[in-house]
Amino acid sequence: TAASAQWHDREWLESTKPESITLTDLTEEWSTQLVTGPNSRAIIEDAAEGFDPDLPWLTRQNATIAGKEVTLLRVSFAGELGWEVHSQVADTSDVYDAVMAAGEAHSLKPFGMFALDALRLEKGYRIWKGDLSTDYTVLQGGLGRFIKWDKANFRGKAALENERQQGSAKRFATFVVEAGAFDAPTMSPIWKGNQVVGETTSGGWGHRVDKSIALGVVNTDLAEPGEVLEIEMYGKRYPATVQADQPLWDPRNERIRA
Protein backbone atom coordinates (compact mmCIF):
# COMPACT_ATOMS: atom_id res chain seq x y z
CA THR A 1 0.00 0.00 0.00
CA ALA A 2 1.08 3.63 -0.16
CA ALA A 3 3.41 4.59 2.70
CA SER A 4 1.13 7.45 3.74
CA ALA A 5 -1.81 5.06 4.04
CA GLN A 6 -0.12 2.26 5.96
CA TRP A 7 -2.01 2.78 9.23
CA HIS A 8 -5.29 3.58 7.48
CA ASP A 9 -5.23 0.48 5.30
CA ARG A 10 -4.04 -1.83 8.07
CA GLU A 11 -6.80 -0.66 10.41
CA TRP A 12 -9.40 -1.03 7.64
CA LEU A 13 -8.25 -4.57 6.88
CA GLU A 14 -8.22 -5.46 10.58
CA SER A 15 -11.77 -4.21 11.02
CA THR A 16 -13.21 -5.97 7.97
CA LYS A 17 -11.28 -9.25 7.58
CA PRO A 18 -12.80 -12.62 8.53
CA GLU A 19 -11.72 -13.92 11.95
CA SER A 20 -10.03 -16.88 10.27
CA ILE A 21 -7.48 -14.60 8.59
CA THR A 22 -4.39 -13.32 10.39
CA LEU A 23 -2.91 -10.02 9.17
CA THR A 24 0.86 -9.52 9.42
CA ASP A 25 2.53 -6.20 8.54
CA LEU A 26 5.85 -6.86 6.78
CA THR A 27 6.54 -3.24 5.87
CA GLU A 28 9.82 -2.93 7.76
CA GLU A 29 11.26 -6.02 6.07
CA TRP A 30 10.95 -4.80 2.47
CA SER A 31 12.20 -1.90 0.39
CA THR A 32 11.50 -0.69 -3.15
CA GLN A 33 13.67 0.96 -5.76
CA LEU A 34 12.46 2.23 -9.12
CA VAL A 35 14.51 1.75 -12.27
CA THR A 36 12.85 3.79 -15.00
CA GLY A 37 13.51 5.51 -18.31
CA PRO A 38 14.18 4.47 -21.92
CA ASN A 39 17.26 2.43 -20.94
CA SER A 40 15.73 0.67 -17.94
CA ARG A 41 15.17 -2.64 -19.74
CA ALA A 42 18.82 -2.81 -20.80
CA ILE A 43 19.98 -1.91 -17.29
CA ILE A 44 17.93 -4.64 -15.60
CA GLU A 45 18.98 -7.15 -18.25
CA ASP A 46 22.60 -6.42 -17.35
CA ALA A 47 21.99 -6.45 -13.60
CA ALA A 48 19.53 -9.33 -13.11
CA GLU A 49 19.62 -13.07 -13.59
CA GLY A 50 16.40 -14.82 -14.57
CA PHE A 51 14.88 -11.63 -15.95
CA ASP A 52 12.44 -11.90 -18.87
CA PRO A 53 12.56 -8.53 -20.69
CA ASP A 54 9.54 -9.34 -22.86
CA LEU A 55 6.88 -9.58 -20.15
CA PRO A 56 4.39 -6.76 -20.79
CA TRP A 57 3.34 -3.76 -18.72
CA LEU A 58 1.68 -4.56 -15.37
CA THR A 59 3.33 -7.96 -14.95
CA ARG A 60 5.55 -9.31 -12.16
CA GLN A 61 8.43 -11.77 -12.06
CA ASN A 62 11.08 -13.06 -9.70
CA ALA A 63 14.80 -12.69 -10.42
CA THR A 64 18.11 -12.23 -8.64
CA ILE A 65 20.36 -9.16 -8.51
CA ALA A 66 23.78 -9.41 -6.86
CA GLY A 67 22.74 -12.87 -5.77
CA LYS A 68 19.74 -11.48 -3.87
CA GLU A 69 16.16 -12.48 -4.58
CA VAL A 70 14.02 -9.63 -5.94
CA THR A 71 10.51 -9.21 -7.28
CA LEU A 72 10.25 -7.05 -10.39
CA LEU A 73 6.97 -5.25 -11.09
CA ARG A 74 6.68 -3.67 -14.51
CA VAL A 75 5.15 -0.41 -13.35
CA SER A 76 6.53 3.10 -13.10
CA PHE A 77 5.05 6.06 -11.23
CA ALA A 78 7.28 8.21 -13.44
CA GLY A 79 5.22 7.33 -16.53
CA GLU A 80 8.18 5.87 -18.39
CA LEU A 81 9.31 2.34 -19.19
CA GLY A 82 10.39 0.93 -15.86
CA TRP A 83 10.35 -1.65 -13.10
CA GLU A 84 9.91 -1.53 -9.35
CA VAL A 85 12.60 -3.65 -7.70
CA HIS A 86 11.32 -5.11 -4.42
CA SER A 87 13.88 -6.67 -2.10
CA GLN A 88 14.53 -7.43 1.55
CA VAL A 89 15.73 -4.34 3.41
CA ALA A 90 18.97 -6.11 4.32
CA ASP A 91 19.69 -6.63 0.60
CA THR A 92 18.90 -3.09 -0.53
CA SER A 93 22.43 -1.71 -0.65
CA ASP A 94 23.78 -4.72 -2.58
CA VAL A 95 20.92 -4.49 -5.10
CA TYR A 96 21.38 -0.73 -5.46
CA ASP A 97 25.14 -1.04 -6.05
CA ALA A 98 24.62 -3.76 -8.67
CA VAL A 99 21.99 -1.77 -10.53
CA MET A 100 24.12 1.38 -10.49
CA ALA A 101 27.11 -0.57 -11.77
CA ALA A 102 25.04 -2.06 -14.60
CA GLY A 103 23.71 1.40 -15.38
CA GLU A 104 27.10 3.05 -15.89
CA ALA A 105 27.05 2.10 -19.57
CA HIS A 106 23.51 3.50 -19.91
CA SER A 107 23.92 6.92 -18.24
CA LEU A 108 21.96 5.86 -15.16
CA LYS A 109 21.58 8.51 -12.46
CA PRO A 110 19.76 8.40 -9.10
CA PHE A 111 16.69 10.58 -8.58
CA GLY A 112 14.52 11.30 -5.58
CA MET A 113 10.92 11.67 -4.54
CA PHE A 114 10.54 15.33 -5.52
CA ALA A 115 11.52 14.43 -9.08
CA LEU A 116 9.16 11.46 -9.05
CA ASP A 117 6.34 13.68 -7.81
CA ALA A 118 6.86 16.07 -10.73
CA LEU A 119 6.87 13.17 -13.20
CA ARG A 120 3.68 11.61 -11.86
CA LEU A 121 1.85 14.95 -12.07
CA GLU A 122 2.49 15.02 -15.81
CA LYS A 123 0.82 11.62 -16.05
CA GLY A 124 -2.08 12.64 -13.82
CA TYR A 125 -1.25 9.80 -11.43
CA ARG A 126 -3.07 10.35 -8.16
CA ILE A 127 -1.58 9.74 -4.74
CA TRP A 128 -3.52 8.15 -1.92
CA LYS A 129 -4.03 10.43 1.08
CA GLY A 130 -3.53 13.36 -1.25
CA ASP A 131 -5.46 13.36 -4.52
CA LEU A 132 -7.43 10.34 -3.35
CA SER A 133 -8.87 10.19 0.14
CA THR A 134 -12.02 9.50 2.09
CA ASP A 135 -13.06 13.09 1.30
CA TYR A 136 -14.00 12.04 -2.24
CA THR A 137 -15.94 9.11 -3.64
CA VAL A 138 -14.46 6.70 -6.16
CA LEU A 139 -16.54 8.33 -8.91
CA GLN A 140 -15.50 11.86 -7.94
CA GLY A 141 -11.89 10.70 -8.04
CA GLY A 142 -12.29 9.57 -11.64
CA LEU A 143 -11.85 5.88 -10.85
CA GLY A 144 -15.20 4.65 -12.13
CA ARG A 145 -13.55 2.47 -14.78
CA PHE A 146 -12.17 0.27 -12.00
CA ILE A 147 -15.58 -0.52 -10.51
CA LYS A 148 -17.00 -3.97 -11.32
CA TRP A 149 -20.63 -2.93 -11.46
CA ASP A 150 -21.91 -6.42 -12.28
CA LYS A 151 -20.45 -7.87 -9.07
CA ALA A 152 -23.30 -9.10 -6.90
CA ASN A 153 -22.40 -6.93 -3.94
CA PHE A 154 -19.49 -5.04 -2.45
CA ARG A 155 -19.03 -2.53 0.36
CA GLY A 156 -20.46 0.82 -0.72
CA LYS A 157 -22.12 -0.45 -3.91
CA ALA A 158 -25.57 0.98 -3.13
CA ALA A 159 -24.18 4.46 -2.49
CA LEU A 160 -22.07 4.38 -5.67
CA GLU A 161 -25.02 3.12 -7.73
CA ASN A 162 -27.10 6.02 -6.44
CA GLU A 163 -24.33 8.50 -7.23
CA ARG A 164 -23.94 7.05 -10.72
CA GLN A 165 -27.68 7.47 -11.37
CA GLN A 166 -27.92 10.95 -9.85
CA GLY A 167 -24.58 12.18 -11.17
CA SER A 168 -21.53 13.24 -9.15
CA ALA A 169 -21.55 16.75 -7.73
CA LYS A 170 -17.77 17.04 -8.15
CA ARG A 171 -15.18 15.68 -10.54
CA PHE A 172 -11.44 15.29 -10.62
CA ALA A 173 -9.55 17.46 -13.11
CA THR A 174 -6.06 18.37 -14.28
CA PHE A 175 -5.13 22.04 -14.68
CA VAL A 176 -2.34 23.98 -16.34
CA VAL A 177 -1.67 27.03 -14.18
CA GLU A 178 -0.27 30.40 -15.21
CA ALA A 179 1.44 31.43 -11.99
CA GLY A 180 4.99 32.38 -12.90
CA ALA A 181 7.35 31.06 -10.24
CA PHE A 182 4.57 29.53 -8.12
CA ASP A 183 3.09 26.04 -8.12
CA ALA A 184 -0.27 25.32 -6.51
CA PRO A 185 -0.06 24.06 -2.91
CA THR A 186 -2.37 21.30 -1.72
CA MET A 187 -5.89 22.45 -0.80
CA SER A 188 -5.69 25.81 -2.57
CA PRO A 189 -9.18 27.23 -3.27
CA ILE A 190 -10.35 27.09 -6.89
CA TRP A 191 -12.55 30.03 -7.91
CA LYS A 192 -15.11 30.73 -10.62
CA GLY A 193 -15.82 34.41 -10.40
CA ASN A 194 -16.60 35.12 -6.73
CA GLN A 195 -17.49 31.54 -5.85
CA VAL A 196 -15.22 28.79 -4.55
CA VAL A 197 -15.95 25.77 -6.76
CA GLY A 198 -13.29 23.29 -5.66
CA GLU A 199 -9.83 22.75 -4.25
CA THR A 200 -6.46 21.53 -5.45
CA THR A 201 -5.16 18.21 -4.21
CA SER A 202 -1.55 18.59 -5.41
CA GLY A 203 0.58 20.68 -7.73
CA GLY A 204 4.06 21.13 -9.14
CA TRP A 205 6.17 21.88 -12.19
CA GLY A 206 6.19 19.40 -15.08
CA HIS A 207 9.69 19.57 -16.54
CA ARG A 208 8.91 17.38 -19.57
CA VAL A 209 5.90 19.47 -20.61
CA ASP A 210 7.39 22.71 -19.23
CA LYS A 211 4.19 23.76 -17.46
CA SER A 212 2.88 24.25 -13.93
CA ILE A 213 0.35 21.51 -13.19
CA ALA A 214 -2.33 21.21 -10.56
CA LEU A 215 -4.66 18.34 -9.79
CA GLY A 216 -7.93 19.02 -8.05
CA VAL A 217 -11.64 18.48 -7.60
CA VAL A 218 -14.24 20.96 -8.90
CA ASN A 219 -17.96 21.16 -9.56
CA THR A 220 -18.81 18.71 -12.31
CA ASP A 221 -20.13 21.30 -14.74
CA LEU A 222 -16.78 23.12 -14.62
CA ALA A 223 -14.56 20.09 -15.24
CA GLU A 224 -14.73 20.42 -19.02
CA PRO A 225 -11.53 20.84 -21.10
CA GLY A 226 -10.82 24.48 -21.85
CA GLU A 227 -12.73 25.84 -18.85
CA VAL A 228 -10.69 28.67 -17.32
CA LEU A 229 -10.89 28.97 -13.52
CA GLU A 230 -8.62 30.58 -10.95
CA ILE A 231 -6.46 28.98 -8.27
CA GLU A 232 -5.69 31.04 -5.20
CA MET A 233 -2.06 30.96 -4.04
CA TYR A 234 -0.70 33.04 -1.21
CA GLY A 235 -3.63 35.45 -1.34
CA LYS A 236 -3.64 35.97 -5.10
CA ARG A 237 -5.55 34.21 -7.89
CA TYR A 238 -3.96 32.77 -11.01
CA PRO A 239 -5.61 31.46 -14.22
CA ALA A 240 -5.94 27.68 -14.41
CA THR A 241 -7.23 25.89 -17.51
CA VAL A 242 -8.92 22.49 -17.30
CA GLN A 243 -7.18 19.88 -19.45
CA ALA A 244 -8.55 16.88 -21.33
CA ASP A 245 -9.10 13.77 -19.22
CA GLN A 246 -5.79 12.17 -20.21
CA PRO A 247 -2.11 12.48 -19.24
CA LEU A 248 -0.27 15.61 -20.32
CA TRP A 249 2.79 13.46 -21.00
CA ASP A 250 2.58 10.45 -23.34
CA PRO A 251 -1.26 10.33 -23.25
CA ARG A 252 -1.39 7.02 -25.15
CA ASN A 253 1.09 5.33 -22.77
CA GLU A 254 3.38 4.38 -25.64
CA ARG A 255 6.54 4.97 -23.61
CA ILE A 256 5.46 3.01 -20.54
CA ARG A 257 4.39 0.09 -22.76
CA ALA A 258 7.56 0.14 -24.90
Close Cβ partners of 73 (under 8 Å, ≥ 6 residues apart):
59, 60, 83, 84, 86
Backbone angles phi, psi at 83, to 5 degrees: -135, 140
Mean pLDDT of the chain: 95
pLDDT digits (tens, 9 = 90+) for 47-68: 999 999 999 999 999 999 999 9
> For the sheet containing 48-49, what is the strand order?
30-36, 82-88, 68-73, 60-65, 48-49
Output the tens digit of pLDDT for each of the chain's 258 residues: 778 888 989 999 999 999 999 999 999 999 999 999 999 999 999 999 999 999 999 999 999 999 999 999 999 999 999 999 999 999 999 999 999 999 999 999 999 999 999 999 999 999 988 899 889 999 999 999 999 999 999 989 999 999 999 999 999 999 999 998 889 999 999 999 999 999 999 999 999 999 999 999 999 999 999 999 999 999 999 999 999 999 999 999 999 999
The DSSP-derived string for 160-227 is: HHHHHHH--SEEEEEEEE--TT--PPTT-EEEETTEEEEEEEEEEEETTTTEEEEEEEEEGGG-STT-
Q: Is 237 helix (H, G, I), strand (E, B) or coil?
A: strand
Q: What is the pLDDT of residue 156?
A: 92
